[in-house]
Copies of this chain bind each other. A is one copy, B any other.
């Protein structure tokens, strides 16, 4: 190995002296090294994700403090990992090289809801459940709606999060207008701003969105808001078979109907969630379900769209159409939907695949996933965002012995990812690559593209201190 390479990974440890400097920057109470804290910040919500202790957890409250911390870490070559609420699903916030973990939980101020420009300015640690009411009380709407609503804006930006509403409203990237970021030199940069369009040089902001904390620390966000739709209805539709559900999705989109959300669920996911939550969902004879949300301004139009959807579904083996039009009945359905991950996967030996493919390829893709399941004798549960092609696929151990499971799992994962790529898909639709999808990531891109990414990483972070070991090595 050449000295240069050695040097790149020769990180320093956090010393007493570094801790003293951090205390001076942040106050002692925001520099934590007790074992309990370090353990609490050593993992995220990835199923069976890795745990690695940081050497110190720091909790800045101001951008200037983040700048001082980064400058210090860069000078001393201490790895730095950023963390919002730790709800990530690819170990992106796990400090795999130890070092410094910056938790943004105290940078949680909503700075401004600008009703004149339909924008909000917020610190990066703001949690979606705190932002949403502030925005909606003013008749405004921030459509990005990841399954995990306790996630923070920063985490959402790190992974270009998607969620339920992508069919109609797109992903987080589509709503970010400006970012305040800090690069390792400690320099604070304002990217973008309160302008709706922009054609001024390279869009560093868009490069940083989705870069999983490997290029810069994001400290402040300007997001675009839209008008809150007046009406929402939710359809809960059980299907005799999975093929019928997917065919319905294709036909809905082909008929130029654009629901807010089209979620797909397999029966077993519903049953398991019922067992765990003790709550009952209607109709248990179905093999698969669609939950479809529509929004609009006019009740007759909304219901006529609902009727068109109903007849498409009934022609494709739907067993029933249940319409929820009150806020309460809709909330119930969506709460169950939000609980899937928590109840199905979290405490099991299970893996999570977040692949995204062209929406029209879902039926064929899911048939192949089923045959992979049969071929290896590994149970696979699926649900997800059928309207935008982003399906969450969970291989689950169940009755397999640990040995069988660990022997079969790599081939199952590999085949599913390769199938997805063969449809023109991507490894991750909204969770990011982090640590847990690094190997598969390389199958998506040719060497040349990864080489460009690595060189860009070196432009922003020449000492490789920012979230090292994530996305690629």
Contact = CB atoms under 8 A, between A and B. Distances in A.
A375 interface: no
A356 B198 contact: yes
A250 B204 contact: no
Interface in A422-473: 424-433, 441, 444-446, 448-450, 452-453, 455-457, 459-460, 471-472
Nearest to A445: B201
A91 to B, nearest CB: 14
Contacts of A201: 210, 433, 441, 444-445, 449-450, 453, 471-472
Interface string A173-212: 1100000000101010101011111111111101101110
A181 B40 CA distance: 44
Interface stretch (A77-85, A114-122, A407-415): A114-122
**Most chain B beta-carbon neighbours within 10 Å: one of A202, A358, A427, A446:** A202
A196 B166 contact: yes
B250 A198 contact: no
A193 B301 contact: no
A73 interface: no
A170 B256 CA distance: 20
A448 B459 CA distance: 11
Contacts of A452: 183, 204, 459-460
Nearest to A449: B189
Contacts of A429: 195, 197-199
A199 B160 CA distance: 6
A360 interface: yes
B388 A196 contact: yes
A348 B463 CA distance: 53
B115 A254 contact: yes
A137 interface: no
Interface string A228-270: 1000000000000000000000100110111000000000000
Interface string A357-370: 11110000000000
A202 B357 CA distance: 18
A335 interface: no
Contacts of A204: 449, 452-453
Nearest to A471: B201
A98 interface: no
B203 A117 contact: no
A441 B200 contact: yes
A253 B199 contact: no
A227 interface: yes
Given A203-B210, A446-B189, A459-B456, A171 B194 contact: no
B160 A198 contact: yes
A387 to B, nearest CB: 8
Contacts of A207: 202-203, 206-207
A360 B117 contact: yes
Contact of A195 (B187, B210, B258, B357): B357
Nearest to A250: B116
Contacts of A193: 358, 424-426
A201 B253 CA distance: 28
Contact of A116 (B118, B206, B215, B360): B360
Given A195-B389, A204-B453, A448 B358 contact: no
A316 interface: no
A298 interface: yes
A12 to B, nearest CB: 25
A471 B203 CA distance: 12
Interface in A376-423: 388-390
12 contacts: A116-B250, A116-B253, A116-B359, A194-B358, A195-B389, A195-B425, A200-B428, A202-B211, A204-B452, A206-B206, A227-B256, A456-B459
